[in-house]
Structure 1
């Protein structure tokens, strides 16, 4: 299992693979027990999430550059020693055995490095400046720490990073098309599953543990959905019988929620640019009992070319593509793959979607712009720029949700009315 984990980590870090895709690929490819699957997943996610911290701990013991597989073998070993508190002898023996399989001379080197590491105290963070301290302590690139500090105080940034490192409860939405809050809470209590009711949204619960095999989930009575993501649809707040556009809909959670709020009345056009996501959305809607959603594969910026859509929607939701800085707690590789250039490109795309889809809203209609990111350039400043160029818009609601406030992802939501 450790050998597979090292291969997977090398693929993620060196070849920029997405952690969840690489992990799923390995779990499908190799026959592992449930226990081994869980351990493999923990090793890969944990090592990737704490990469920069592990690198810092190990640095004094490595005098020259190592081959990638040797480096990641040591990283996985340090992760087990420091974070999982695995017995020292077990970690060292296993690491040396793995190294010997490839090269016996490397086995001796790995043994020496790990024993040297264990003889010394864990390296502390003294002598680092403020940005370096947050970067190394929580394993985020320095540019990203500096970028967040542009918008938030040091204390707030640290609270965000601490929240991202926590093991999260599973956030679910009670699907009111198929059940009630009371029925779901009663069933969870009967089955000995602990949960708490959300203080952020009407139908949100935080559940301890895995719910994927539970009947409530399989039958669509509860939907796994972050609490802040649930708030987005509540803020949109469409009335029954309305015509609604969800401009960037995949994977479909918000469209499904809007459908429940509308009690399966009216029409929701759920658009996305990626063809392979249509089937995913259609399956979700079927499972959740949504009967008023039409899926459409199209670039949201091109919808204005369809005559019938101009000035036709009562409500529009644009949950636009974004840098995702609010979801780094569970997308553990995002922080290493994001850069300033890609944020600049995303900002242009957001502005294009916002300006082109605004034309589809009826006068008197409501437009909700949302992101799962935390930087103001993609949020408040994007809206300010939009307002500067138009006279037919007023903001009726604006809010940033920080991850530590409600056990949720970080989100920005702005609802505007067309005058």
Structure 2
């Protein structure tokens, strides 16, 4: 008589909600434990996981939603294993999981943990409140909202913003002029614009309106020698080039080779042929000696905390610490001291950041002027009026805020070498 084989127990089916929970947790672990930027972590996840458009959109929405809300941000720095519990609480608050799944997934050691409200680390929130006083609450709230999608019309292509808006309308894309940048367009929702013919032929670039304004304030002219000292992927380089109409010399410098490589196809698409890219070792690279006192205009888009871009890059606030902020401030001081030597007499230097913090902005500029009396401030308001940009500032510099101007929080000061 044959013995019957014992039945193998089937693994219990994983519910879609539980699967999404686990997938999101893996992405968040990459971002918050392994310091992978959010967009890169999501891209890697989608490359490995076969998922449909609905699943991808869910993951993007809630990963960024979790990072923007920031609840438990201080607790996580002290207890890295708390991440799963914070993620489960977030999903329950947004009705993405059931009470039963919530109870099952919360780690036992954290089941009684009280998650404090607050979207910023306490030390950073304190700095923002001290600096912005009554405006701090609205500023912090605005920094937790998703940013709108802004485009810039490439003036070098000889087409008006109005003409591009009409072309978008024919494509049934809802868009409107931005209030401050004369070349800006704001879409009513995020779209894969990189597949659009207007993007492919260089007529349009994706760029936040605040970033457009900063680059426009540099006011590059045809025939000048212009240096973009911290060019990165070149968003502001492209604006400078369009202002120069490809006449003169434009040098894009950076210490990141990958970013400079990403700039080259953008230059080609934009139709700019007067741009030279230069990879630097650091701000003390001996190569810089050949540019001593040669620049009519120098733009420093300095590395910074990125606190003005938290709507787009909310993962930055989870990594920022008082110590990392101090290191950034020291880097900014070194870059200002070194790059300023490239400006010729009568030339201008534009210092910009995407930070909300005076310690990276106003205080850095004032300390530089105190140490370099040959430089003086050019009132930004006069430049705004000259360019027909309808922004107002009573300070010699300009601080843009998401709560007040509807764009990223950027700072810009213009200095002239006497």
Query: Is this a same-fold pair by TM over 0.5?
Result: yes
Deviation at 1:280, TM superposition (A): 0.3
Q: Among 132, 137, 149, which residue is 1:152 paired with?
A: 132
Q: Among 233, 248, 261, which residue is 2:243 paired with?
A: 261
Q: What does residue 132 of structure 1 align with?
A: none
Provide the rounded CA distance (Å) in 1 between the counterparts of 2:80 and 2:248. 61
Q: Which is bigger in relative contact order (C-alpha 8 A, separation at least 6)?
A: 2
Deviation at 1:185, TM superposition (A): 0.8
Question: Does structure 1 retain, via aligned residues, the 8 Å contact 2:139–2:403?
Answer: yes
Question: Does structure 1 retain, via aligned residues, the 8 Å contact 2:85–2:105?
Answer: no
Q: Among 85, 88, 91, which residue is 2:98 paired with?
A: 91
Q: What does residue 408 of structure 2 align with?
A: 409
2:223 paired with 1:224: no
Q: What does residue 131 of structure 1 align with?
A: none
Provide the rounded CA distance (Å) in 1 between the counterparts of 2:283 and 2:73. 43
Q: What does residue 102 of structure 1 align with?
A: none
Q: 1:58-97 counterparts in 2 under 5 A?
A: 71=85, 74-81=88-95, 86=96, 91-92=98-99, 95=101
Q: Among 156, 171, 174, which residue is 1:191 paired with?
A: 171
SS in 2 for 1:264: coil
Structure 2 CA distance for partners of 1:215 and 1:389, relative to 1, 3 Å: same
Structure 2: which 5+ residue stretches go unaligned? 1-19, 381-396
Question: Does structure 1 retain, via aligned residues, the 8 Å contact 2:210–2:400?
Answer: yes
Provide the rounded CA distance (Å) in 1 between the counterparts of 2:33 and 2:288. 43
Provide the rounded CA distance (Å) in 1 between the counterparts of 2:72 and 2:150. 28
My pick for the range that moved more, 250-259 or 179-188, is 179-188
2:54 paired with 1:40: no
Structure 2 CA distance for partners of 1:346 and 1:167, relative to 1, 3 Å: closer
Q: What does residue 62 of structure 1 align with?
A: none
Provide the rounded CA distance (Å) in 2 between the counterparts of 1:146 and 1:339. 13
Structure 1: which 5+ residue stretches go unaligned? 57-64, 97-105, 117-122, 124-134
Q: What does residue 322 of structure 1 align with?
A: 304
Deviation at 1:76, TM superposition (A): 4.6
Structure 2 CA distance for partners of 1:137 and 1:190, relative to 1, 3 Å: farther
Structure 2 CA distance for partners of 1:305 and 1:279, relative to 1, 3 Å: closer
SS in 2 for 1:5: helix
Question: Does structure 2 retain, via aligned residues, the 8 Å contact 1:54–1:78?
Answer: no
Q: Among 203, 206, 226, which residue is 1:244 paired with?
A: 226
Structure 2 CA distance for partners of 1:73 and 1:341, relative to 1, 3 Å: closer
Provide the rounded CA distance (Å) in 1 between the counterparts of 2:224 and 2:26. 51
2:34 paired with 1:15: yes
Provide the rounded CA distance (Å) in 1 between the counterparts of 2:312 and 2:209. 14
Provide the rounded CA distance (Å) in 1 between the counterparts of 2:273 and 2:58. 40
Provide the rounded CA distance (Å) in 2 between the counterparts of 1:377 and 1:73. 33
Q: What does residue 129 of structure 1 align with?
A: none
Provide the rounded CA distance (Å) in 1 between the counterparts of 2:201 and 2:373. 47
Q: What does residue 7 of structure 2 align with?
A: none
Deviation at 1:136, TM superposition (A): 4.8
Provide the rounded CA distance (Å) in 1 between the counterparts of 2:253 and 2:285. 9
Q: Among 360, 364, 368, which residue is 2:342 paired with?
A: 360
2:140 paired with 1:161: yes
Offset from partner CA, 1:319-339 (integer Å, 9 cap, x none)? 110111111111111112101
Question: Does structure 2 retain, via aligned residues, the 8 Å contact 1:303–1:309?
Answer: no
Q: What does residue 172 of structure 1 align with?
A: 151
My pick for the range that moved more, 37-46 or 257-266, is 37-46
Q: What does residue 390 of structure 2 align with?
A: none
Question: Does structure 2 retain, via aligned residues, the 8 Å contact 1:181–1:203?
Answer: yes
Question: Does structure 1 retain, via aligned residues, the 8 Å contact 2:220–2:297?
Answer: yes
Q: Among 18, 21, 45, which residue is 1:2 paired with?
A: 21
Deviation at 1:108, TM superposition (A): 8.6
Provide the rounded CA distance (Å) in 2 between the counterparts of 1:223 and 1:262. 17
Structure 2 CA distance for partners of 1:77 and 1:228, relative to 1, 3 Å: closer
Provide the rounded CA distance (Å) in 2 between the counterparts of 1:219 and 1:366. 32
2:393 paired with 1:386: no
